[in-house]
Structures are given as C-alpha cells and as structure tokens.
Amino acid sequence: MRVGIALTGTALAAAGGAGLCLGLAGGDLAARPLLDPAVSRYADGTAWFWPVAAAAAVAVAACGLLWLAAHGRAMMRRRRAALDGPTRMRARAAERDLLRDALRLPGVRDARLRLTGTAVRPRLLLNLTCTGDAVLGEVYGELGAGAAERYRAATGMPDLVVVIRFRMVFGEPAPV
Amino acid sequence: MASFTLRYIAAPWVMSLPGGGGTSHGGVRMGETLAAELLGGAQARQQARRLAEQEFRPRRTAVGVGAALLVTAAGGAVSAELLTVLDVLPDGWSPMARSMAVLRGLTWADPWTLGVAGTMAAAGPALLLAALPGRARTLPLAGEDPLMAGAVGRAALRRTLADAAVGVPGVVRARVRLRGRFRKRIVVRAATGYRNRPDISDLVRAAVHARLAEVELMQWRRVDIRLNRLGG
C-alpha cells in the first residue's frame, strides 16, 4: 500500500514539477499550448500512438481499481474474519473463556475481542481496559502464557496472531 | 555446522557454569542447550518486535484510498477519452472534442495550468511523506511470543507516568512528554514546593522508572527530569 502511495506521489511530483518548469521558464516554450500541434501531427501520423496511449491509460485505471479493491478487502478483513463455520463456532465457544480469564487478571476492568484476518493468517484483536495503576507487563505476560495459548488450542489455530491494545482508565481528574 | 557453532559460542559460558567442566561431554551439552535457549529467545523477541511494528504502525488507509481513487479516476477519464478516439466507445462517453479544445487553448504559462501544476507538485511530496513509516500512536510492549503483540496508547502512558511522578512526596504536579524519533526519551516536568530536598528529582526518576518497569515497553527510553521549584 505504501509503495502505491509513494509511486503516486512521485508521478504527481514529477508531472507537477515539469508543468511548473515549463510554465515558469518563460519564452517560446511557456507560450506553447498544452497539446502541441506537433504532438497532434505525430499522433495522427503514427498508427500505434493512440492504441498504446489507450492501453497505458486502461492499465493505470485497472491498477487503481485493483488497489481500491485491495483496500476494501483489507478493511473488511480487519472487521470480520474469513473463517469457515466450524472454526467460527469453536472461536465463539472459546471467546467466553478468554474474556473470563482476562477479566480475572489484576487491574483489568473490561475486555472485548474480535477475530479478524483470513484462514491462512487469522488474527485476534483484544481490547483491554485497565486501571491506571495496572501492571501492564504482568497482564500482557499472563495473557500470553495462559489465556491466549488456551484460545489457540481451543480454536485449533496454533498460528493465531494475538494483538492486544491496552486502554487505561484513571479515577481522579488528571494532575497534569 | 549449527551444532559446532553453538558449541563454539557456548564454550566460555560452560566454563563458568557450576559443573560445566568445558571438556566433559555433559557440560558441553548443557552449554549447547543454554546457548540454544538464549539464541531462540533473542529470535523470538525479534519476531515479536517485527510483529508489533507491523501491527501498530500507521496504516495510512485514508491516504491510500484517496490515492487509489485519484489513480482510478485519472486513468478512467483518460481511458474514456482515448477509447472514444479509437471508436471503441461511442461518442457520448466522453466530451473528447471539448477536452482537446481546452488542451489546445491553454498554454503552459496560463494561470490555470500553473495552478494545477503547482497543486500536483505540492501533493506529490505530501504523498511521499505520507508513505514514510511515521510515528505510531501506540507504544509496543516487550514480549517473547512471536505471535503476540501488545501496545499501550501514548496518552495513557503519559498519564500513568505523571501519576507515578505525582506520587512522590513533595511533587505538586507533573507533565510527561514522549520525545525523540531516534533518541527516544521521556521528559518529565515536575513542580515541587520543597526547596530543601535536593534528591527530589532522583525520587521522581526512580518512581517513573519503577512505573516503566511495570509497563514493560519494548523500546528503552531515557528519562529526563526537569524540576520546577514553586514559590519564588
């Protein structure tokens, strides 16, 4: 995705820079039209010019569409896992145990989870809300050593990636 | 080959281990196991770090979708124009004649052309900057599970460290900033009413370090304490 952004940025910068250079250069070059008559004459006299230009434009449009589709797919996979029915059922059953285990850890106030990703690369997103004085390192270590491993075993996904985001709630108004 | 390497690496430690005679077969075995565990642990930590970097770095989804839309729209419009020229598409698809007239009428020095070129020249570097990795909004936690990544928000970390600093007797208020892209550090500005306690900044530093040890961030950060003595 970043490569696409960088390529688009490079193309825009190059085209914009070239346009500015031509426009600000002054003289005869700046006074010429964007579609030079010489280009038109060359295009009319060359049989392959328009088909090649059209093919290039269609290729760019197709790349853009594929890129959009990839974004859409990635966004969808971040919201909902592409897993089969039995795995989904096992995950639902294991979800309760994982949440219960997480809420038993000291300092954990709330836990929410979402299974995302694909069957090849599943991903469990766990959002934990902890108290301001919670020992996050301990909570994280305990989850990794116990609850997450049990969840992997219960769902039959030994390569499940577990991503934990900690939020913290503070009782009193901020002393900062 | 791998076994030889492990044995070679393990040899100095084996000598220092109780019962690790160096020449005895059992000692070398123990050293091998220890070295393998240490190397395996380092590898797991590295994998965990990579996973955390991958998971928590900004995705730039909005910029990516915007750029993809731009590419699709520009490519689609030009395609429609050119396919109309080639009679692949009917004339109604694109106002080809009008577009060509505009392109023939505008010069490179025209304000409209310069405006569009300037916008493109500004948007290009902006997109290039957006493609850089950028600063994560969350800070990854240390871990050894290569399939697990955890992170805490910057604001939450700042707040909990400020709470730790305020917990030091004599500190009235504290403000924490996370600074540095390359030399990462935590800057704590603490205010105290005490004027006869020269060790207070050490106490604040110790409290912040203790809290950091509980949070267990993946990357070590230096802690800078800046003390402001209140009351004149």
User: Domain span at residue A19?
Assistant: 2-79
Based on the fold, state whether residues B155 and B208 are members of the same structural domain. Answer: yes
The pLDDT value recorded for residue B4 is 38
| pLDDT reading at A2 higher than 90 | no
Instruction: Assign B21 a pLDDT band (cuts: 50, 70, 90).
Output: very low
CA distance B4 to A165: 42
A50/B85 CB distance under 8 A: yes
Interval B97-124: pLDDT, tens: 677 788 888 889 889 999 999 999 999 9
A42 touches chain B (CB under 8 A): no
Residue A124 and residue A68 share a domain: no
**Whether residue B52 is found in the same domain as residue B76:** no
Give B144's contacts in chain A (Cβ within 8 Å): 144
CB contact under 8 A, A175 and B107: no
In chain A, what residues touch B125 (CB-CB under 8 Å)?
A: 9, 13
Mutation to test the A interface, candidates B82, B93, B228, most A Cβ within 10 Å: B82
Clarify whether residues A7 and A71 are in a common domain.
yes
Domain that holds residue B101: 61-130
Contact between chains at B108 and A19 (C-beta distance less than 8 A):
yes
SS3 assignment, position A3: helix
Percentage of the residues of chain A whose pLDDT score is greater than 90: 47
Are B64 and A61 in contact (CB < 8 Å)? Answer: no
Distance CA A21, CA B108 (A): 9
Q: Residue B108 in contact with residue A30, Cβ under 8 Å?
A: yes
Q: Are residues B67 and B52 in the same domain?
A: no
- The answer to whether residue A29 sits within a structural domain is yes
- What number of other Cβ atoms are within 10 A of residue A100's Cβ? 11
Last residue of a domain, one of A60, A79, A98: A79
Query: B50 and B68 share a domain?
Result: no
CB contact under 8 A, B79 and A35: no
Is B79 a member of any domain? yes
Residue B53 to residue B56: CA distance in whole angstroms: 6
Q: Name the domain count of chain A.
A: 2
> Which residues touch B69 (CB under 8 Å, ≥6 apart)?
A64, A68
Are B10 and B38 part of one and the same domain?
Answer: yes
Q: Which of B101, B82, B91 is nearest to A48 (CA)?
A: B82
The ipTM value here is 0.77
* CATH code of B162's domain: 3.30.70.1350
pLDDT at B1: 38
Does residue B45 register a pLDDT over 60?
A: yes
Is residue A135 within 8 Å of A75, Cβ to Cβ? Answer: no
**A108-149 per-position pLDDT tens digit:** 999 999 888 887 888 899 999 999 889 999 999 999 888 899
Least confident interval from A13-17, A137-141, A165-169, B50-54: B50-54
Residue A60 main-chain phi, psi, to 5 deg = -65, -45
Specify which residues A161 forms β-bridges with.
A123
Is residue B224 domain-shared with residue B155, that is, in the same domain? yes
The CATH number of the domain where A95 resides is what?
A: 3.30.300.30
Cα distances from A46 to residues A20, B78, B100, in angstroms, run 29, 19, 18
Query: Does residue A62 share a domain with residue A98?
Result: no
Contact with chain B for residue A52, Cβ under 8 A: no
Same domain? B52 vs B102: no
Does the beta-carbon distance from A67 to B83 stay under 8 Å? no
| Number of domains composing chain B | 3
